Structure formats: structure tokens, C-alpha cells
């Protein structure tokens, strides 16, 4: 089975100025695979500064890896040309957090949807273009007659975000990068948009990388999860296991910092006492905040296999078998 997307030891370092003294590792040694024939929803979770937005920018080709490579259908995305590049730009789409950002207040929804149709020559006639718009809007649960011809201010935040999803869907994407797509939408509409994304995966064969700081929504939408902290993978696996039974001290902190009305958990029940201090050491990125830190944590922990669908990068599990980082995807069910 061929790969739709493959990240091979991708690292991104930002450095200020010519002198490299202020280099920041935004993402460190990430290897990941999405199968062509197994559309899935994978969450990448973490706080701000965890590297998740850098990952989105890398996947969309907005920035390039410092080391490592990203392959789309077996080809390095930084060297794509001609037809391959066009196919990548059409098949890898994004939905961002701000549903207002892509709307020019002076254009109607029709205009927003017509642009990609023209850009990628998706229709030969106006009637065909209209049919495609209507199909895409219907697929995301909107009634075309409710939104076509309208201006952005006449629509709700939830409608705008679903129009963004419809816009992506028009291009028949194979991969959707959804970067905090519901964080600026009313809580009452979140479930609706998450359901829309799930339908894309189930009914249209679109794989989705769902990027979020919000484990509640991750739990409801994704099959697998990768928890990032300061650019490194802390824990990964089946979403149900990682969120209900987190093993890494950082994931425990994240899970414990939110209320779980439907998981029989009391907020703050297992509160982690966070150490003062900051700054990334050369060892475990979480060391300065970890209540369980040990001398050995001054060296970077490998990933350890907790079970066949759960892995964590923490010396607390050093009695478990080590996992080479290239095998991370083996722990992510699709
Ligand atoms: Fe804490 Fe050490 Fe585990 Fe890092 S490796 S999370 S510092 S116990």
C-alpha cells in the first residue's frame, strides 16, 4: 500500500540573524506516514509553542524543513514541479482557525467559491461551476439557497467555517490540514463542524490532520493523536487510550487541566505540581516543568512502547522496549 504523505525525520529550526546563537527548534525529528488507501483523522495536539502550527506550515509547503523531508505520493514536496505541484496544491487543502480571515467583506460566497474553480479549471461552464458549488455546500450540511449570493456579514461564524470547508472540498482534496478549525466558533456550533469534518473523512475519503490545543475536540473527532511539546513528540497512539489513560507527565497535565463532563473525571483530580523555571535543556523538553524529573532526564528520552497502540517519550517507562522514531506511525491506528 502506497503512502499519501510521509515525513522523514523532519526538523525545523528558526534562527535569528546570520549568527545562529538564537536558534529555536520548532519541530524535532518527526517521522510520520499516512496511507493512501486508509483515510484517517489524526490529531496533533499541544499548547502554543509546541510546534503544531510549524507542522501545518511545513505540510502546506509554506516553509521548508531544516533537515529531513516531506514526501507527498512519494515525491519530495520541495522539489515538485509542473503537474505534480499543481496536484499537490489542489489535493492538500487547509482550513484555518479564523473563519473570517478568508472572506473579503465586499464579495459574496459565490465569489469565494468561484475563485478555486477558475484557478484549477474545475468547470467548463457557469452551470457546471454552480453545480459543483451546490454539491460542496450540501456536503458540508449547508443549503445552497441559504448562503449563495450572501455577504460574509449575513452569515454566522459556523456557516462561514463550513463554507471554508466546502471551498476546500471543491478541490477534491486527499488531505486536509485543519488548524484549530473550531477554536473561534461558538461552542454550540463546534459539534456541527467536527461532524462535517468526520463526514469528509468517511464519505469523501479525505485524510485530516486535525491540529488543536483542545483535547476535548480531539477526543471527539480523531482516531489517533500525537502530543507535541516544544517541538518533540511526548506521547502518541490511539486517541481513546492516550486521553483516557495518559502516561506522559505532560499529557497528564494537559488532560487534567480541562473538565471532562463525559469521562467520569473530576477536574483537577490528579493535579500535577509544576516546577518553576523554563528554557529548553538538551534532555527531555519537559524537564523544567516535570515533577518526576530525574538525573537521566538531562539526556533526551527515546520513545518507549507502552503497548501496540501507545508510545511515550519518558524515562518513567525505560523498562519498556525502545521504539525508533521512524516507527511512530505503527502506533497510530488509522
Ligand atoms: Fe519527566 Fe524525565 Fe519523563 Fe521528561 S523524561 S517527562 S523529565 S520523567
* Residue indicated by cell numbers 512502547: 305
Pocket test for ligand 1, best of 292, 311, 312, 319 (most atoms within 8 A of CB): 292
CA of 217 relative to ligand 1 center, distance in Å: 26
Residue 331 lies in a domain: yes
Residue 88 lies in a domain: no
CA of 256 relative to ligand 1 center, distance in Å: 17
pTM above 0.75?
Answer: yes
Burial environment of residue 95 by CB neighbours within 10 A (0 to 12, 13 to 18, 19 or more): buried
pLDDT band for 196, please (50, 70, 90 cuts).
confident
Atom of ligand 1 nearest to the CA of 234: 6
Residue 320 lies in a domain: yes
Residue 285 lies in a domain: yes
Residue 145 lies in a domain: no
Residue 179 lies in a domain: no
What is the predicted pLDDT for the residue at 311?
Answer: 97
Residue 154 lies in a domain: no
pLDDT band for 185, please (50, 70, 90 cuts).
confident
* Residue indicated by cell numbers 508510545: 311
What is the predicted pLDDT for the residue at 192?
Answer: 82
Residue 57 lies in a domain: no
Domain that holds residue 275: 246-334
* Any ligand 1 atom below 6 A from CB of 249: yes
CA distance 14 to 26: 7
| Each residue's pLDDT tens digit, 30-78 | 999 999 999 999 999 998 889 999 999 999 999 999 999 999 999 999 9
| Each residue's pLDDT tens digit, 88-120 | 999 999 998 876 677 778 889 999 999 999 999
30-44: buried (b, 16+ CB within 10 Å) or exposed (e) per residue? bbbbbbeeebbbbbb
Backbone angles phi, psi at 303, to 5 degrees: -80, 140
What is the predicted pLDDT for the residue at 36?
Answer: 92
* Tally of domains in the chain: 1
Amino acid at each position: 500500500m502506497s503512502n499519501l504523505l510521509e515525513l522523514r525525520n523532519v526538523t525545523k529550526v528558526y534562527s535569528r540573524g546570520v549568527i545562529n546563537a538564537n536558534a529555536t527548534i520548532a519541530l524535532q525529528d518527526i517521522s510520520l506516514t499516512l496511507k493512501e488507501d486508509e483515510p484517517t483523522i489524526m490529531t496533533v495536539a499541544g499548547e502554543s509553542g509546541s510546534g503544531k502550527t510549524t507542522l501545518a506550515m511545513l505540510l502546506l509547503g509554506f516553509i521548508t524543513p531544516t533537515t529531513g523531508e516531506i514526501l507527498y505520493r512519494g515525491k519530495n514536496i520541495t522539489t515538485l514541479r509542473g503537474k505534480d505541484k499543481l496536484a499537490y496544491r489542489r489535493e492538500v487543502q487547509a482550513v484555518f482557525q479564523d473563519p473570517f480571515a478568508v472572506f473579503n467583506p465586499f464579495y459574496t460566497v459565490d465569489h469565494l467559491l468561484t475563485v478555486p474553480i477558475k484557478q484549477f479549471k474545475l468547470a467548463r461552464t457557469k452551470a457546471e461551476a454552480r453545480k459543483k458549488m451546490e454539491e460542496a455546500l450540501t456536503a458540508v450540511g449547508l443549503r445552497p439557497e441559504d448562503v449563495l449570493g450572501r455577504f460574509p456579514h449575513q452569515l454566522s461564524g459556523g456557516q462561514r467555517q463550513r463554507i471554508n470547508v466546502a471551498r476546500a472540498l471543491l478541490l477534491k482534496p486527499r488531505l486536509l490540514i485543519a488548524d484549530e478549525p473550531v477554536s473561534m466558533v461558538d461552542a454550540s456550533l463546534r459539534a456541527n463542524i467536527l461532524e462535517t469534518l468526520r463526514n469528509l473523512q468517511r464519505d469523501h475519503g479525505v485524510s485530516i490532520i486535525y491540529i488543536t490545543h483542545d483535547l476535548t475536540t480531539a477526543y471527539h473527532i480523531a482516531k489517533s493523536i500525537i502530543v507535541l511539546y516544544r517541538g518533540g513528540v511526548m506521547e502518541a497512539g490511539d486517541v481513546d487510550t492516550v486521553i483516557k489513560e495518559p502516561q506522559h507527565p505532560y499529557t497528564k497535565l494537559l488532560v487534567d487541566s480541562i473538565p471532562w463532563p463525559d469521562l467520569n473525571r473530576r477536574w483537577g483530580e490528579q493535579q500535577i505540581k509544576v516546577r518553576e523555571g523554563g528554557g529548553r535543556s538538551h534532555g527531555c523538553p519537559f524537564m523544567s516543568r516535570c515533577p518526576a524529573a530525574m538525573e537521566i532526564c538531562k539526556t533526551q528520552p527515546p520513545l518507549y512502547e507502552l503497548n501496540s497502540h501507545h508510545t511515550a517519550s519518558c524515562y518513567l517507562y525505560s523498562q519498556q522496549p525502545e521504539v525508533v522514531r521512524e516507527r511512530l506511525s505503527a502506533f497510530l491506528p488509522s
